[in-house]
Chains A and B, each alone.
Chain A
């Protein structure tokens, strides 16, 4: 192993410039996963401070940004894990809105059918993220976090189950509920935005 103890001269770390160079980027990364600006600011700060403490571990091979993002990724997952453990993990109260989308025999209800037939894929690129973000906010936190870890962080089932201390079947229930509700929410919001002729 030839990992240098000091940053390579051609790729020095410059902590004084971190905020200006990478602050907004890391913030966007964090806020897209955490859905909360304050929490995102906090993990960005923690990332920089952890980076400072471990400057000597930077191999100089990858980019400074890539290295900081790796630290941030871990911080984001840690925060999700901690906040999940302080909340109820599975909302098995039976009042889940997904039940309102199916009738007693398990068929799609009439009220959701027309929305269901409208393809989600025709959402414009610029529309997609703001609407997904709004709809993630409306999900219970455990469903939104499971969806984020799976679809945004692309963690495997085992790793998510370990982080959230749940079983694979719990995880599949969370993901199933998240997907049904997200698709429905996104199409409903999308129609509303169009009707309002809103130009945000």
Chain B
């Protein structure tokens, strides 16, 4: 029998690699019986999916994140470009 700690590791690894047959059986049986580990798996999948969603929004410039270059950095970078562009 795997402990919850080991099961949480299998849950994470299942996102990285194909688990062995035995690992998959252990995981499936454990998750059916243990609602805490089932909750952990639900969170792991949610974290994965929502992070990807966030990144897609960020990359399409539709993000709620509105961080901007500081005006000092903006000036400094413009000067660096102008100096190099001459």
A residues sitting closer than 8 Å to B (CB atoms) are 15-16, 18-19, 23-25, 27-29, 31-32, 37, 41, 44-45, 48-49, 52, 69, 102, 105-108, 113, 116-117, 119-121, 123, 125-126, 128-129, 132, 150-152, 154, 157, 168, 171-172, 175-176, 179-180, 182-183, 186
Contacts and interface: CB of A to CB of B under 8 A. Distances in A.
Nearest to A26: B69
B24 interface: no
Given A32-B65, A102-B4, A180-B8, 20 more contacts: A16-B81, A24-B69, A28-B66, A32-B58, A41-B69, A48-B81, A52-B85, A106-B5, A106-B6, A116-B40, A120-B46, A120-B50, A121-B43, A125-B64, A128-B50, A171-B16, A172-B12, A179-B44, A183-B44, A186-B47
Contacts, number: 143
Interface in B1-48: 3-6, 8-9, 12-13, 15-17, 35-37, 39-40, 42-44, 46-48
14 contacts: A19-B74, A23-B74, A25-B61, A27-B68, A44-B69, A45-B80, A116-B36, A151-B47, A171-B16, A172-B9, A172-B13, A175-B12, A176-B13, A180-B8
Q: What's the interface size class on B, roughly?
A: 35 or more
B47 A120 contact: yes
Contact of B63 (A121, A129, A176, A179): A129
B19 to A, nearest CB: 11
Interface of B: 3-6, 8-9, 12-13, 15-17, 35-37, 39-40, 42-44, 46-48, 50-52, 54-55, 58-59, 61, 63-70, 73-74, 76-78, 80-82, 84-85
A132 B53 CA distance: 13
A52 B61 CA distance: 24
Contacts of B52: 151, 154
Contacts of B81: 15-16, 18-19, 48-49, 52
Contacts of A176: 8-9, 12-13
A183 B69 contact: no
Given A19-B74, A102-B4, A120-B43, A49 B12 contact: no
A41 B47 contact: no
